[in-house]
Amino acid sequence: MSNTPTILKKILDRKVEEVAARRKVKSLKDFEQEFDRYEAPRGFTTAIEAKIAQQHSAVIAEIKKASPSKGVIRDPFIPQDIAISYEKHGAACLSVLTDADFFQGHEDYLIQARENVALPVIRKDFLIDAYQVAEARAIGADCVLLIASALDQPKMIDLHAQALEYGMDVLIEVHDDEEMSRALAIDNKLIGVNNRNLHTFEVSLQTTIDLKQMVDQDRILVTESGILAAEDVTLMRNHNIHAFLVGESFMRAPQPGEMLAELFGES
């Protein structure tokens, strides 16, 4: 944790402030009392497994307005229209950015996306506290992201257990072999490999290929970042990697769902 990249540390420091401010307005218990506003979580992992069983790519299609490095990526930004487009063109699941300060996201974007499709949705944010996991369930998230480089092992274990208790799935994200070892110590089906080096911001698909060697067949590896062309998809599939989280290349396309279908050959 002492080697936390500068940008990530900045985000995490802001998250501490954000959670403290939100607790003054609404408690974790308040969120737990709102869980029945939505039906039970839809089964994020199950949707991915179903696509792979059908010999299709399992695409977690991202809804993201902006990034810290690129600024605004999509304008106008209409989450429900993007979600409908993704569903029409074969996405397995959705990923919605809810971080406001660095990605111009919002919890309402997840709600708007999920209410207009039948796909399961992951809340993509920087979760550091039990409060955020309860909040995720209350806004209808079917899965949460836990980033290994943002959490020490006891905290990651605790947040993972809490998410499962709420009926959600978990995607644990790693960047290197040390984080992969920590992820594998937790009984969780989905492991995401972020191909972006958070120190240099360079992206290499070789990161996923190298780390896959550590993973048994009972896990599902999700490759994240750097899937830009059909040959990238082919490279991953040739290494028996069939789950993908893709965002920016879709967000820059006039019709994100059509870009998904073109990139993955889905219909």
CA 161, CA 99: separation in Å to the nearest integer?
Answer: 23
Q: Assess whether 116 carries a catalytic annotation.
A: no
Q: Residue 213 to residues 2, 180, 217: CA-CA distances in angstroms?
A: 26, 11, 10
Catalytic residue among 57, 85, 149, 194: 194
Catalytic residue among 18, 107, 135, 173: 173
Catalytic residue among 62, 87, 135, 179: 62
Catalytic residue among 95, 188, 195, 225: 225
Q: Assess whether 26 carries a catalytic annotation.
A: no
Task: For the chain, give the number of residues.
Answer: 267
Chain centroid to Cα 160, Å, comes to 14
Q: Assess whether 62 carries a catalytic annotation.
A: yes
Q: Assess whether 155 carries a catalytic annotation.
A: no
Catalytic residue among 51, 65, 124, 212: 124
Catalytic residue among 51, 64, 65, 212: 64
CA 216, CA 91: separation in Å to the nearest integer?
Answer: 25
Q: Assess whether 188 carries a catalytic annotation.
A: no
101 φ, ψ (degrees, to nearest 5): -70, -30
- Which residue from 263, 238, 241 is spatially nearest to 251, judged by alpha carbons? 263
Q: Residue 184 to residues 43, 144, 193: CA-CA distances in angstroms?
A: 21, 17, 12
Q: Assess whether 49 carries a catalytic annotation.
A: no
Q: Tell me the catalytic residues.
A: 62, 64, 124, 173, 194, 224-225
